[in-house]
Structure 1
């Protein structure tokens, strides 16, 4: 069976550094930090009092009151990002068979705020009132519901589900979409991820694990991947969506093609529930699997969008894995962690980083890893690697590898390449 070629025809984003794909990319290139004091709740008693929140988002601008009552914030973010990608791809304005358009949308956690509200209300009032729950509690909370809402909104009746693999979730969504399309099971799929966990349970839970930065005096510089003084990740929120489409289908309707999906890989660390393998064994395997699937050699990759969360252990293991996989070419490939600007969007991280990877190809720009101060080095990090510290770099980019690694040892990587006839 000959596998079909898959291309990217639509982009959409709602992020801490921009409420659409164009703005988010421009701010990433310019090294804008999305971090600031938490506004979603009073965080004054928390160890971490800042986050990378979406700014200026008003649900009333997008949903009527009746619809908004049925949606957790993460699903709202998903719908807005997906709408942009669908409009960008002109899927609604063309003669497409909606029975063959799918939606695969990820969340690492899902409707955490809804769960927190409902469980908190029951804890306060359950004994006197009995089990009174909002009828929308379950359908607002579950991690697959964003995919359902997008399909309902646009009457897309193709493959429809959510992927949950912690911080690898939306890369898994993209790889699944890629595989279904190239196997001929769909013509196009809206794929991506959304997350909205900047609430007490999310921040408090990650604080208890000592996973978050506590640099409350300077939030903007707190996410500093591969720097010696990094002290944890900055939690982020938002969504991103990409329309993946079978090449001939896209060409037949005159769709704009941003890039081609070359391959995807998956693996497991099989090591620890939260920590990455110290030698990066799972990270090494997932990159090798992605390259093999794409039929590419390490030397074919020009840029790697790193998982790079700014945690003490995770950054080191990823850098080790890259040197193992890429050998001498590791010193020629451009590297950067855009989480230094967006923070860590958890289940949505892979989607926004895939969008940045595609834009890096189309614009010939490597976005920076911000917040590195000269001399702020970790003795276990090889600074001969090109981390693109602090300033974006122009270069021709023919292929990009984007990494994601999640709690549970879940790893997913995807490769995009410049589209050529």
Structure 2
């Protein structure tokens, strides 16, 4: 009988490459493809150009009724119609499959799938250079809410004398609900659809961490590839705050910016006059690979993930849980980079969450100061939310791609930051011409105190 391995012995990856030789552990994870659906356009270049031009994606809502809400403006991804052309170049068979599948995809899922297809195309995905058993999907989202009209016919059938009769629902109401309605809203469906449409048979995972989903997805994807469990992963997130019920929830539970005559001035991150966040929608994806795999196929490399961290701090953690959570996530990111040998890499800039909420902006600024010191020692700090507000779970990934595209060039200033709040001691970028540097750290946090951060540097 063979002896059992020691309890503390390292795990061995027994996967093999097609010729039968053992597969070596990945040395790093790189980004080779980008896909974006946003209020400022549906390509990375459109997004970055709009940010540098100071454009706002905030306008009057067209997708939801506004009579019951405190705000009538937000940032819709108006260029995304759900038409098959929005998914980028596709073979005819895949076009037909996605068209058919769209019947069980709500808008939020459609945006996520479209961003993934755009990233796959941009990254040069094809079955000749990818082992389908070694490429998978890791996707972030929030919980996805059904539209009221899914139940309207069933509810109407149960109305008697102006009141809803619960006793009729089982026999009379429920049969009028589409039997496949749930498939349109399950938060694991973006990863499911993307894998099925492209026959990606590797690791598949879904994370639902609201605004922190993007950074957490990149963290988990990087770990998965470094463990040797995959050669490549489609990593993305999708989200929407523009939804009859979601918008109602937000208006009741969060501090939303009041309507202004110039709606483009509603989102004012870190400004002394800010009064709340603005609701939006969007999605973005990246194709992430081991450096060895990317170089072997001659892929263009846009960036390298060198650090990541997450944290969750509730009210029991102290009076400023969001500050503590962000500080923890930042320190974890710096530690992970140090452990991977990247500790001496300069941080070119920080892409802040920058929600435009009075308390959350204050706590985020305090966390940045806590980790990086006073303004004179901090990297430049920017955020894209002044342009399009809170895109929900997809916002972090849109912001990460904006920062990634900026590396080696100039940063976009924080839109609408006219007077920095004295309670927000950050090295805020307020004018054009600030260098983005060769790396950045992106921060995102939920109102519940879940924070994620990721550190990406320019390809070398």
TM over 0.5: yes
CA gap of 1:210–1:404, structure 2 versus 1, over 3 A, is closer
Give the SS at the match of 2:406. helix
Equivalent position of 2:157 in the other structure: 125
RMSD: 2.2
Tell me, in whole angstroms, the C-alpha distance in 1 between the residues paired with 2:325 and 2:343. Answer: 19
TM-score by length of 1: 0.92
Unaligned 5+ segments in structure 2 are: 1-9, 11-24, 86-94, 159-164
Secondary structure of the equivalent of 1:175? Answer: helix
Separation in 2, partners of 1:276, 1:3:
41
Residue of structure 1 equivalent to 2:416:
371
Which residue of structure 2 lines up, in the alignment, with residue 387 of structure 1? Answer: 428
Indicate the residue corresponding to 1:139 in structure 2: 183
Superposition map of 1:307-318 within 5 A: 307-318=353-364
Contact 2:322 2:449 in 1 (8 A): no
Superposition deviation, residue 93 in structure 1: 6.0
- The offset of 1:346, in angstroms, is 1.0
* Inter-partner Cα distance in structure 2 for 1:418 and 1:198: 33
Q: Aligned with 2:373: secondary structure?
A: helix
Q: Name the structure 2 match of 1:287.
A: 330
Partner Cα distance (1:61, 1:234) in 2: 29
113, 116, 136: which is aligned to 2:148?
116
Contact 1:230–1:311 (CA under 8 A) maintained in structure 2: yes
SS in structure 2 at match of 1:231: coil
Q: How many residues align?
A: 411
Written as runs of structure 1 = structure 2, the 5 A alignment for 1:17-416 is 17-62=40-85, 66-92=100-126, 94-110=128-144, 112=145, 114-126=146-158, 127=165, 129-132=172-175, 133-271=177-315, 277=320, 280-295=323-338, 296-297=342-343, 300-328=346-374, 331-361=377-407, 363-373=408-418, 376-382=419-425, 385-389=426-430, 391-395=431-435, 397-416=437-456
**Alpha-carbon distance in structure 2 between the residues aligned to 1:404 and 1:50:** 23
Separation of aligned partners in 1, 2:188 and 2:155: 26
Which has the higher Rg, Structure 1 or Structure 2? 2
Secondary structure of 1:59's match? coil
How far is 1:44 from its partner? 3.2
Change (3 A) 1:158 1:299: closer
Q: Deviations over 1:201-252 (max 9, x none)?
A: 1111111124211224322111100001111111110110011100010000
Deviation per CA, 1:260-298: give whole Å up to 9, x if none: 10011011122279x992671111111000010011558
**Cα distance in structure 2, aligned partners of 1:68 and 1:272:** 43
Q: Distance in 1 between matches of 2:410 and 2:143?
A: 32
Q: Structure 1 stretches of 5 or more lacking a match?
A: none
The 3-state SS of whatever aligns with 1:7 is strand
Bigger mean CA deviation after superposition, 293-302 or 128-137: 293-302
C-alpha distance in 1 between matches for 2:298 and 2:308? 26
Question: Hey, what's the Cα distance between the residues in 1 that align with 2:434 and 2:127?
Answer: 35
Do structure 1's residue 16 and structure 2's residue 48 form an aligned pair? no
Q: Distance in 2 between matches of 1:364 and 1:93?
A: 34
Question: C-alpha distance in 1, partners of 2:403/2:128?
Answer: 27
In the alignment, the residues of structure 2 paired with residue 85 and residue 246 of structure 1 have an alpha-carbon distance, to the nearest angstrom, of: 16
